[in-house]
Chain A
Amino acid sequence: MAYTYYPGCSQEVSNRAYDLSTRAVAKALDIELKELKDWNCCGTSPSYSIRELPTFVLGARNLALAEREAGACDLVTICNGCFAMLEKTNLRLKEPDLRRRVGEVLSVAGLEYEGSVRARHFLEVLVNDVGEGLIRERVTMPLGGLKVAPYYGCQFSRPEGRYDDLEFPTALDRLLSWIGAEVVDYPLKAQCCGGLLMTTKEEVALKLVRDLLALAQKRGAHCMATICPLCQLNLEAYQDRVKARFGADFSIPILYFTQLLGLSLGLEGKALGLGRELVSAADILAPYLVVASREV
Chain B
Amino acid sequence: MVQKVREADLFESSVGLVERVLDSSIAEKIKSCIQCGTCSASCPTAYAMDYTPRWIIAALRAGQWERVLRSNTPWLCASCYYCTVRCPSGIEFTDLMYALKRLAIERGIYPKGSPVLYQAFTGTVDRYGRSAEVELMARYYLRTLNPWGLIKMAPMGLRMLLKGRLSLLPHRIEGRRELAKMFDYMRERGEK
Q: Which residues of A contact B (CB under 8 A)?
A: 9-10, 12-16, 38-41, 44-54, 57-58, 61, 101, 105-106, 108-111, 154-155, 158-159, 161, 166-167, 191-192, 194-197, 199-201, 203-205, 208, 237-238, 240, 275-278
Contacts and interface: CB of A to CB of B under 8 A. Distances in A.
A200 B75 contact: yes
Contacts of A14: 133, 160, 165-166
Interface of B: 44-45, 48, 75-76, 78-82, 84-85, 92, 94, 98, 101-102, 105, 114-115, 117-119, 121-122, 125-126, 129-131, 133, 137, 140, 155-156, 159-160, 163-167, 171, 173-175, 178-179, 181-183, 185-186, 191-192
Contacts of A108: 178, 181-182, 185
11 contacts: A46-B117, A49-B102, A50-B105, A52-B192, A54-B192, A61-B182, A196-B78, A200-B114, A204-B76, A208-B44, A278-B156
Contact of B125 (A41, A155, A237): A41
Contact of B76 (A109, A201, A277): A201
A9 B132 CA distance: 8
A48 B82 CA distance: 18
Contacts of B137: 199
B81 A154 contact: yes
A106 B182 contact: yes
Contacts of A53: 186, 191-192
Contacts, number: 169
A278 B84 contact: no
Given A53-B186, A57-B182, A200-B75, A44 B191 contact: no
B175 A109 contact: yes
A41 B118 contact: no
B102 A61 contact: no
B160 A154 contact: no
A196 B121 CA distance: 11
A41 B164 CA distance: 22
B117 A196 contact: yes
Contacts of B48: 201, 203-204
A206 to B, nearest CB: 11
Contacts of A240: 155-156
B5 to A, nearest CB: 20
A199 B101 CA distance: 17
A200 B167 CA distance: 22
A203 to B, nearest CB: 8
Contacts of B181: 108-109
A211 B125 CA distance: 32
A291 to B, nearest CB: 20
A12 B118 contact: no
Contacts of B126: 54
